[in-house]
Amino acid sequence: MVLHPTDLPPPSRLALLLDFDGTLVDIAPAPDLVVVPPRLPANMQTLRDLCGGALGIVSGRPIRQIDALLGATFAIAGEHGTAIRHAPDGPIDMLDLPDPPPHWVDAARALLARYPGTLMEPKRHGFVLHYRAAPEAARPLEAVLKALLAKAPAFHLLAAKMAWEIRPAGTSKATAVRALMARPPFEGRRPVFIGDDVTDEDGMRAAAAMGGFGLRVPDDFAAPADVRAWIATLAGAKREADAWPAW
């Protein structure tokens, strides 16, 4: 069932933590082909103000990509929390993490060359192999990556939507949520994490453990368009605080 804004506390009590791909925007054939609807950034900025600044993006993308797509006006946890900017005009905190060995990247690229339509998305401390346009590559890619990681406990292999991601162990959207929620303006608010992928489940659980909610596309919202409509409704709401149900 798609949520109505009155199912949640008023924005003045919320901390909204939003995934990007598949949640705010529709999944595209390649990461650089996503389309940001024209009104989305402005609606999010209005909602951020209603939340007292406590609206953040928690994404697998680098912070610079989110800034280019939405504008540099939000707190962002990029690359699953390996880089965090707690405020729009604040510094970026970088975790000290290992990089994957160069021969892993070479092996992955060699395999991708055998499957037209696959592509690599580089990350600061890892990479993602996308096979949306070549689903037959799923198992071969998994086998090679598992072999590479067999003796590398410092890295994990994560299954995503039509993709495999290598990332440093100990990083997740849960660590990103906890880091954002530990500081103002998020601190002391009720977190609501919205995502769509298995990579978001850690963030959902972290929000729920803090007394908030983890919401998912397509379970709670049918599609990213419904998330955007929900944001637009919240941003346009002119309600007094006592018009919202108390929990």
Overall number of domains in the chain: 2
With a cut of 60, say whether residue 2 has pLDDT above it: no
At 30 the pLDDT is 87
CATH number at residue 23: 3.40.50.1000
Q: How far is CA 201 from the centre of its chain?
A: 10
CA–CA gap between residue 86 and residue 179 (Å, rounded): 9
Residue 162 and residue 179 in one domain:
no
With beta carbons less than 8 A apart as the criterion, state whether 124 and 82 touch: yes
Residue 77 and residue 112 in one domain:
no
3-state DSSP assignment of residue 188: coil
Residue 82 and residue 197 in one domain:
yes
Residue 78 and residue 177 in one domain:
yes
Residue 62 lies in a domain: yes
- Catalytic (active site) residue 19: yes
What is the extent of the structural domain holding 223? Answer: 8-94+171-241
With a cut of 70, say whether residue 23 has pLDDT above it: yes
Residue 186 and residue 90 in one domain:
yes
Residue 78 and residue 106 in one domain:
no
Beta bridge partners of 232: none
């939340």: which residue's tokens? 51
Tell me the pTM. 0.86
With a cut of 90, say whether residue 124 has pLDDT above it: no
At 160 the pLDDT is 87
Q: What is the mean pLDDT of residues 78-102?
A: 92
Residue 134 lies in a domain: yes
Mean pLDDT over all residues of the chain? 90
Residue 84 lies in a domain: yes
Residue 189 and residue 85 in one domain:
yes
CA–CA gap between residue 192 and residue 124 (Å, rounded): 27
Beta bridge partners of 47: none
Q: What is the mean pLDDT of residues 35-54?
A: 95
Q: Catalytic pick from 19, 21, 200, 202?
A: 19
At 1 the pLDDT is 44
Nearest to 18 by CA among 171, 158, 217: 217
Between these two residues, 7 and 16, which has the higher pLDDT value? 16
CA–CA gap between residue 14 and residue 108 (Å, rounded): 42
Q: What is the mean pLDDT of residues 77-105?
A: 93
Residue 79 and residue 197 in one domain:
yes
Residue 87 and residue 179 in one domain:
yes
